[in-house]
Amino acid sequence: MKKSLGLVAHDEKKQLLADWCKKHSTKLSQLDLYSTGTTGKKIIEYAGLSVTRLASGPMGGDAQLGAMIAEERLDGLIFFIDGLAAMPHDVDVKALIRLATIYDVPFACNQSTANAVLELF
């Protein structure tokens, strides 16, 4: 069975995630990828990967990824977080991180940890 990975990034980190995805496209192309809407669009356009796009983060995409974790349908999560910007949907972001923690899903919040998580796949 194919492993699945969630991909999401705050606005100021979307290009950084798209660059990371392009760099690791060979390995990522072997996974089922899920992403919030805007992040997914950028990854598809820039890295050329096949990504199932969910709703945008503020419109429920973070919650959809969290539900996938709770249903044990997501094997890992890459979430490039902008630690300097206030997020209006911060509660959803915290809930997603909490679910990844509770369900012991490998979770990365920057390039260094994303590289480590990808090695698990």
Q: 88 or 6: which carries more pLDDT confidence?
A: 6
Q: What are the residue numbers of the active site?
A: 62
Flag whether pLDDT at 3 surpasses 80. Answer: yes
Check if the beta carbon of residue 54 is closer than 8 Å to that of residue 36: yes
For the chain, what percent of residues have pLDDT higher than 90?
A: 77
> CA-CA distance, 66 to 14, in Å (whole number)?
19
Tokens of 10: 């705050």
- The domains located in the chain, with CATH, are 4-118 (3.40.50.1380)
pLDDT in tens, 34-54: 999 999 999 999 999 999 999
Give the model's pLDDT for residue 87.
Answer: 65
Tokens of 13: 């980190």
Determine the pLDDT at residue 109: 93
Alpha helical stretches, state H, the chain: 14-23, 25-28, 37-47, 61-70, 90-102, 111-118
